[in-house]
């Protein structure tokens, strides 16, 4: 026992001596041919490799890393593994200490290259191998090549393939030989589908989410699309779309297993944007109201310009003769808004029937409004009073964007028509049309261009509260909210009955993954005369910053009107496009 005690004391003393002899440095510098200014050999990347990344400039509360001289050998070990993965197996990594800093010198030497590629027994798949003779061998590229081949099999009716890949690295002769064994075995088709755990949702509704068809060639993408469609229902905690590949034969049955999660939610929000100022709200939603994915949604949203309350009922599946499956939504709103030109209190009911037809979404319904309007402009005092408006509306749209809040590619087209008529008991009579088009294109993962156009027309003069307005964080960013167009005494905007909005933006990702910089050009026209599109345009240019967050990009823009002095500052969540 006494002997063990002595050993323990000795170990403690040795540990203390080691700690006392360690020296901590504030600076570590990478040098040599294996270090570049940018890219995967840049110093910023190498600091991350050794586990000592510097914090980004915006994380001002985080301290810069410190470097312990007792960890230098560990740093070199990590660097060696990293350079091996890039193909620099002969890289020489040394270090020295000069005064108050550690210097790590990296000579990457010549990279190792692929000398031969063998593909058997199905040599037709040689085209799937992304390596060529003479290419630098990299472990990440080798992994990508295996994943590409496996993915090809799953997408092209060969889910029961056999595959193996080996890379023989010969350090003595400094070459790599690649050996791929690829056998597609047989072509497979989809079989029967079994569904379980769907809860109080009809099986037919789950089947509508299935994109594959029995007897068609197996394609893993169809299973993934089916999963995404069911996930969009928003009520399942567990979703499994599993092909039964362990059965003999070329027919692959599919099991869909589901588990219903929580369907009732209370959500609160608080925030700020430059269009509506400080805002906050609360809403309660039941995503499976009495089953079959019917939705009941209610809440209130308050901002510096007023408030909105709403109650919405939505049924995604109603079967009508001749029309087949349609959707039904009834939305009741009561809101109060205060603008520069007027205030309004409105009861509104929008009843909508929807149907997807020939690849387009079609919506038709009746809009009923009871408005109390008080103009703030003496010249428009005759518009004060109560208005009852009944109108039919129709909307058709196609949305092929990859995201609704942060699209990087795709397009969106929408046409909205609204016809109010005294034959429906309406106090006003007009025809309103609004066409909106968006296009987003990615040149690469770091460069995006986007365009947005709105063209609107109302066929007769209407009161202030029914006109088009533009300007603000999601329209013309060189102007404040609804500030474009003709103004009356005191700079109060009058809106218009003819509208043109055009916006163009170029975005590029910065060195920090979550940050983007944007350059934009916006131009708008508002006319007080129907069908007139020749009035002067209001142009602006600007620059902005985007920071990616889980709820959408935080967007900050500075817009500069081309024919006026000054600038406008905008902040909001979500892209304009």
Residue-level pLDDT at 322: 86
Residue-level pLDDT at 391: 97
State the angle between helix axes of 220-232 and 139-155 in degrees (0 to 180), rounded to the nearest 10.
Answer: 90
Q: What is the DSSP string of 331-396?
A: EEEEEEEE-SSEEEEEEEEEEEEEEEETTEEEEEEEEEEEEEEEESSGGGGGG-EEEEEEEEEEEE
User: Is the pLDDT at 22 greater than 90, yes or no?
Assistant: no
Q: Which residues contact 385 (CB under 8 A, 6 or more apart)?
A: 372, 373
List the strands of the sheet with 114-121, edge to edge.
114-121, 175-183, 162-170
> Which candidate, 321, 385, 330, 393, places its Cα nearest to that of 362?
393
Task: Tell whether 18 is covered by a domain.
Answer: no
| CATH at residue 528 | 2.40.160.50
| Same structural domain, 426 and 520 | yes
What confidence tier does 379 reach under pLDDT thresholds 50, 70, 90?
confident
Q: Rounded CA gap, 195 and 215, in Å?
A: 18
Last-in-domain residue among 135, 167, 183:
183
**b/e for 261-299, b at 16 or more Cβ within 10 A?**
eebeeeeeeeeebbbbeebebebebebbbeeebbbbbeb
φ, ψ dihedrals at 20, nearest 5°? -65, -30
DSSP designation for 305: T
Task: Tell whether 311 is covered by a domain.
Answer: no
Across the range 125-130, mean pLDDT stands at 88
User: Is the pLDDT at 313 greater than 60, yes or no?
Assistant: yes
Residue-level pLDDT at 60: 80
User: Is the pLDDT at 405 greater than 90, yes or no?
Assistant: no
| Same structural domain, 234 and 379 | no
For residue 121, say if its preceding peptide bond is cis, omega within 30 degrees of 0: yes
Residue-level pLDDT at 464: 92
User: Is the pLDDT at 311 greater than 60, yes or no?
Assistant: yes
pLDDT tens for each residue of 504-541: 999 999 877 789 999 999 999 999 999 999 999 999 99
**b/e for 146-181, b at 16 or more Cβ within 10 A?**
beebbebbbeebbbbbebebebeeeeeeeebbbebe
Residue-level pLDDT at 337: 96
pLDDT tens for each residue of 63-100: 999 999 999 999 999 999 999 999 999 999 999 999 88
User: Is the pLDDT at 54 greater than 50, yes or no?
Assistant: yes
Lowest pLDDT segment from 204-208, 366-370, 376-380, 508-512: 508-512
Yes or no: say if 523 and 534 are a contact pair by the CB < 8 Å rule: no
Yes or no: say if 294 and 316 are a contact pair by the CB < 8 Å rule: yes
Q: How many CB atoms lie within 10 A of CB 67?
A: 19
| Same structural domain, 128 and 244 | no
> Which candidate, 309, 306, 301, 300, places its Cα nearest to that of 332?
309
**Residue 336: strand pairing partners:** 307, 345
Positive or negative, the CA dihedral 490, 494, 495, 501 is: negative
What confidence tier does 18 reach under pLDDT thresholds 50, 70, 90?
very low
The radius of gyration computed from the CA coordinates of the chain, to the nearest angstrom, equals 32
The four Cα atoms 468, 474, 476, 477 give a dihedral, to 10 degrees, of 150
Last-in-domain residue among 183, 213, 228:
183
Lowest pLDDT segment from 5-9, 149-153, 297-301, 387-391: 5-9
| Same structural domain, 453 and 509 | yes
| Same structural domain, 128 and 79 | no
Task: Tell whether 289 is covered by a domain.
Answer: no
Q: Rounded CA gap, 224 and 212, in Å?
A: 10
Q: Record the tokens describing residue 91, joined without a space.
A: 């890289």
Q: Which residues contact 342 (CB under 8 A, 6 or more apart)?
A: 373, 374, 375, 376, 377, 380, 383, 464, 465
| Same structural domain, 163 and 195 | no
Residue-level pLDDT at 9: 57
- 307: helix, coil or strand? strand
Domain that holds residue 81: 23-107
Residue-level pLDDT at 17: 44
Task: Tell whether 14 is covered by a domain.
Answer: no
Q: How many CB atoms lie within 10 A of CB 17?
A: 10
Task: Tell whether 436 is covered by a domain.
Answer: yes
User: Is the pLDDT at 491 greater than 70, yes or no?
Assistant: yes
Across the range 441-447, mean pLDDT stands at 92
| Same structural domain, 350 and 418 | yes
User: Is the pLDDT at 489 greater than 80, yes or no?
Assistant: no
Task: Tell whether 123 is covered by a domain.
Answer: yes
Q: How many CB atoms lie within 10 A of CB 314?
A: 18
Yes or no: say if 170 and 176 are a contact pair by the CB < 8 Å rule: yes
> Which candidate, 498, 499, 541, places its Cα nearest to that of 520?
541
Q: Name the maximum alpha-carbon separation found in the chain.
A: 106
| Same structural domain, 404 and 540 | yes
User: Is the pLDDT at 544 greater than 50, yes or no?
Assistant: yes
> Which candidate, 554, 475, 485, 565, places its Cα nearest to that of 520?
475
Work out the burial of residue 2: count CB atoms within 10 Å of its CB; fewer than 13 is exposed, 13-18 middle, 19 or more buried. Answer: exposed
Looking at the chain, the whole-number percentage of residues with pLDDT higher than 90 is 82
Number of independent structural domains in the chain: 4
Q: Record the tokens describing residue 426, joined without a space.
A: 């309406």
In total, the chain counts a number of residues equal to: 577
What confidence tier does 5 reach under pLDDT thresholds 50, 70, 90?
low
Q: Which residues contact 455 (CB under 8 A, 6 or more apart)?
A: 434, 435, 499, 500, 501, 533
Mean residue pLDDT across the chain: 92
| Same structural domain, 78 and 195 | no
User: Is the pLDDT at 11 greater than 80, yes or no?
Assistant: no
| CATH at residue 58 | 3.10.20.310
Residue-level pLDDT at 283: 97
Yes or no: say if 279 and 218 are a contact pair by the CB < 8 Å rule: no
Residue-level pLDDT at 454: 98
| Same structural domain, 376 and 457 | yes
Yes or no: say if 326 and 353 are a contact pair by the CB < 8 Å rule: yes
Residue-level pLDDT at 7: 56
State the angle between helix axes of 72-85 and 139-155 in degrees (0 to 180), rounded to the nearest 10.
Answer: 50
> Which candidate, 163, 164, 180, 162, places its Cα nearest to that of 114?
180
| Same structural domain, 54 and 126 | no
Residue-level pLDDT at 418: 98
What confidence tier does 13 reach under pLDDT thresholds 50, 70, 90?
very low
Last-in-domain residue among 64, 89, 107:
107
**Phi/psi class of residue 219: alpha, beta or left (left: φ > 0; alpha: ψ in -120 to 50)?**
beta
Comparing 11 with 57, which gets the higher pLDDT? 57
Across the range 354-359, mean pLDDT stands at 92
> Which candidate, 271, 393, 269, places its Cα nearest to that of 329?
393
| Same structural domain, 446 and 350 | yes
Residue-level pLDDT at 568: 95
> Which candidate, 323, 384, 310, 382, places its Cα nearest to that of 354?
323
Task: Tell whether 302 is covered by a domain.
Answer: no
Q: Rounded CA gap, 41 and 82, in Å?
A: 10
Looking at the chain, the whole-number percentage of residues with pLDDT higher than 70 is 96
Task: Tell whether 286 is covered by a domain.
Answer: no
């Amino acid at each position: 026992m006494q002997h063990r005690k002595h050993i323990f004391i000795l170990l403690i003393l040795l540990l203390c001596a080691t700690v006392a002899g360690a020296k901590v440095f504030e600076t570590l510098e990478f040098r040599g041919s294996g270090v570049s200014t940018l890219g995967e050999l840049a110093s910023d990347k190498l600091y991350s490799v050794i586990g000592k990344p510097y914090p980004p400039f915006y994380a001002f509360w985080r301290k810069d890393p410190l470097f312990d001289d007792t960890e230098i050998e560990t740093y070199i070990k990590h660097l060696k593994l990293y350079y091996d993965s890039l193909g620099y197996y002969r890289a020489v990594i040394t270090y020295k200490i000069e005064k108050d800093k550690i210097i790590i010198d990296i000579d990457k030497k010549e990279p190792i290259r692929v000398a031969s590629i063998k593909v058997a027994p199905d040599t037709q798949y040689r085209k799937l191998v992304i390596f060529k003779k003479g290419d630098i061998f990299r472990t990440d590229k080798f992994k990508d090549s295996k994943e590409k081949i496996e993915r090809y099999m799953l997408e092209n009716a060969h889910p029961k393939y056999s595959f193996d890949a080996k890379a023989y690295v010969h350090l003595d002769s400094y070459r790599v030989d690649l050996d791929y064994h690829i056998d597609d075995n047989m072509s497979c088709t989809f079989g029967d589908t079994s569904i379980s755990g769907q809860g109080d949702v009809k099986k037919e509704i789950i089947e509508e989410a299935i994109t594959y068809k029995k007897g068609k060639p197996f394609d893993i993408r169809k299973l993934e699309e089916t999963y995404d469609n069911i996930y969009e229902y928003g009520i399942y905690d567990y979703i499994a779309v599993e092909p039964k590949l362990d059965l003999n034969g070329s027919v692959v049955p599919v099991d869909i297993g589901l588990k219903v999660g929580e369907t009732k939610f209370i959500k609160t929000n608080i925030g700020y944007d430059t269009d509506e100022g400080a805002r906050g709200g609360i809403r309660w939603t039941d995503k499976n109201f009495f089953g079959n994915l019917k939705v009941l949604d209610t809440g209130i949203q308050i901002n510096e310009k007023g408030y909105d309350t709403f109650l919405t009922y939505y049924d995604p599946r109603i079967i009508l003769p001749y029309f087949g499956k349609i959707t039904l939504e009834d939305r009741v709103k009561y809101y109060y808004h205060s603008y520069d030109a007027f205030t309004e209190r409105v009861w509104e009911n929008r009843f909508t029937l929807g149907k997807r037809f020939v690849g387009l979404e079609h919506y038709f319904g009746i809009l009923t409004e009871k408005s109390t309007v008080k103009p703030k402009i003496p010249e428009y005092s005759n518009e004060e009073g109560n208005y009852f408006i009944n109108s039919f509306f129709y909307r058709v749209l196609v949305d092929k964007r990859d995201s609704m809040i942060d699209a990087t590619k795709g397009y969106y087209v929408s046409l909205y028509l609204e016809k109010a008529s005294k034959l429906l008991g309406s106090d006003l009579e007009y025809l309103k049309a609004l066409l909106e088009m968006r296009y987003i294109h990615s040149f690469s993962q770091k460069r995006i261009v986007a365009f947005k156009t709105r063209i609107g027309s109302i066929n007769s003069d209407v009161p202030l509260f029914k006109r088009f307005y533009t300007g603000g964080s999601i329209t013309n960013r060189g102007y404040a909210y609804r500030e474009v167009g003709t103004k009356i005494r005191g700079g109060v905007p009058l809106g218009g009955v003819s509208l043109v909005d055009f916006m163009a933006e170029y975005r590029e990702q910065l060195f920090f993954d979550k940050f983007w910089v944007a350059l934009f050009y916006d131009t708008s026209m508002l006319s007080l005369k129907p069908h007139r599109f020749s009035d002067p345009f209001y142009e602006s240019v600007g620059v902005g910053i985007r920071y990616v967050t889980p709820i959408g990009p935080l967007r900050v823009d500075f817009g500069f009107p081309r024919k006026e002095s000054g600038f406008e500052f905008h902040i909001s969540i979500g892209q304009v496009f």
